[in-house]
Structure 1
């Protein structure tokens, strides 16, 4: 299963070349990830990811320029790896949900659950692991995929 997040484009997202700036795509990914971890995960279990999380790395492939438009883009997001103390999510930023729509970006992010009080990484809880498994698809990495 994939998390589908409609993300509005803002006029300020454009750069001098008239398309969405490359760094803005990281914000789109962040918005989808926040919705996934702080809304969906907490709906599934009120304690999921409440201790915090940090980004360990991003990998992003820009497939096609995106020009500003009034319609939102769709960020599809899924889990590609669940470790003991980290997870990897993949994304596609596209026109609309589903195959056949234009893909602008493919990306992945390694996320580490973090204990804010102790200021150090922590292991995934059983509830977090169960939630993530619903979105697990390790056959499609998101980056560089055709």
Structure 2
């Protein structure tokens, strides 16, 4: 892209977002892995402990908090993945126009990697959220007098 373009500042601003988006996607994948471990522990031991306490309002509060976390994990990483997919494609296509196909290939690789990271974290959040929702509904039905 020509640096004298009147909206060159906008392109520069958007380009700066790529690295934070990629770092956030990597963090989201780590969080998804941690959430999967927490959900496993929750299923194996945590729900039984909560049931033993018998405090419905506590269970509802914990369920709401954990489901909100899973829902955010299911929604935000795919959006960040899309953002990190689109950002490198502009410069990559511009490079192709300048006769630099290797630069486009590099941009497309980054774009696909970002998409995959966003989908991995999002799928994990969706699955964890669905499982937790079912577990807590069953637990609340069991304890509801």
- Give the TM-score normalised by structure 1: 0.25
Higher Rg? 2
In terms of fraction of residues, the more strand-rich structure is 1
Q: Structure with the greater relative contact order (CA < 8 A, sep ≥ 6): 1 or 2?
A: 2
- Give the TM-score normalised by structure 2: 0.25
